[in-house]
């Protein structure tokens, strides 16, 4: 198993498994963004130094979730939460709806009691990054929804497995802003899909810390985005 071969420190970035994953992240960006069209060949691949700052930050978040999965043995999930037409016109309004879901539905289901706010329980809460996405339902109607990356502690994984699939959470009865939800087991690269509108909506909701929205510093990430390139990547991907 790959997670048995990767050391329990920053040296995991030197493993062949990580290097292959990292190349896939760059390849994904090169094919998803027109700004990187010239870097789609074997002779001229996309490199970290070619990325704009927002994509460097997205790669940094990918690395964080890689570490959670393959070093710290968390299970990763991709969660999509959509909202009804009249409730999802802007990113600010739907932020409150996601927080209500997280605090009133998700955490009580995982902990089976409501003491999850205490500091002693925080280390078992899922580590969650929530990104805003949008789509045009028609020419005049713009709707927003959320993609979230969950990293679930091994002690809580059996409780969240029951919600894998579409509309498994009990949030659709009565007057509710929620339209649908979907939970899937995933890999770190899905972070790039979840954050595809990051340039327009750079504010990320992060849990379980104090719910401060902060897209400039990932305080739980032990290596800064800028050091990440020079110390760990450029040595083997020049």
Structure tokens at 43: 């002779």
Tell me, yes or no, whether 214 lies in a domain.
Answer: no
Domain count for the chain: 1
pLDDT given for residue 110 in this prediction: 80
Determine, yes or no, domain membership for 119.
yes
**Is 80 domain-assigned?**
yes
Tens place of pLDDT per residue across the chain (238 aa): 344 444 445 788 888 999 999 999 999 999 999 999 999 988 899 999 999 999 999 999 999 999 999 999 999 999 999 998 876 677 888 999 999 999 888 888 887 766 676 776 777 789 999 999 988 776 667 788 999 999 998 888 988 999 999 999 988 888 889 999 999 999 999 999 999 999 999 999 999 864 444 444 443 333 333 334 434 443 334 3
Burial 197-234 (b: 16+ CB within 10 A, else e): bbeebbbbbbbbeeeeeeeeebeeeebebeebbeebbe
The model carries a pTM of 0.83
Q: Domain for residue 70, yes or no?
A: no
Range of the domain at 99: 75-207
Domain assignment present for residue 48? The answer is: no
Position of tokens 């760990």? 232
Half-sphere exposure of residue 139: CA atoms within 13 angstroms, side-chain side = 0
Residue 67 domain-assigned? no
Are 232 and 13 in contact, with CB atoms under 8 Å apart? yes
Quick check: is 12 in a domain? no
Return the pLDDT at 50: 93
């Amino acid at each position: 198993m790959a997670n048995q071969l990767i050391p329990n420190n920053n040296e995991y970035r030197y493993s062949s498994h990580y290097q292959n994953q990292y190349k896939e992240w760059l390849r994904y960006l090169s094919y998803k963004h027109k700004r990187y069209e010239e870097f789609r060949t074997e002779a001229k691949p996309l490199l970290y130094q070619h990325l704009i700052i927002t994509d460097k930050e997205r790669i940094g978040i990918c690395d964080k979730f890689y570490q959670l999965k393959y070093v710290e043995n968390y299970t990763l999930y991709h969660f999509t939460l959509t909202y009804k037409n009249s409730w999802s016109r802007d990113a600010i309004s739907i932020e409150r709806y996601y927080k209500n879901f997280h605090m009133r539905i998700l955490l009580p289901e995982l902990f089976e009691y409501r003491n999850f706010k205490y500091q002693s329980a925080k280390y078992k809460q899922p580590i969650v990054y929530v990104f805003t996405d949008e789509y045009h339902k028609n020419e005049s109607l713009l709707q927003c929804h959320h993609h979230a990356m969950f990293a679930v502690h091994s002690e809580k994984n059996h409780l969240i497995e029951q919600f894998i699939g579409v509309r498994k959470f009990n949030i659709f009865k009565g007057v509710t802003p929620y339209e649908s939800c979907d939970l899937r087991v995933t890999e770190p690269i899905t972070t790039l899909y979840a954050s595809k509108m990051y340039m327009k909506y750079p504010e990320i909701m992060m849990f379980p810390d104090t719910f401060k929205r902060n897209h400039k510093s990932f305080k739980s990430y032990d290596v800064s985005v800028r050091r990440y390139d020079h110390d760990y990547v450029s040595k083997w991907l020049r």
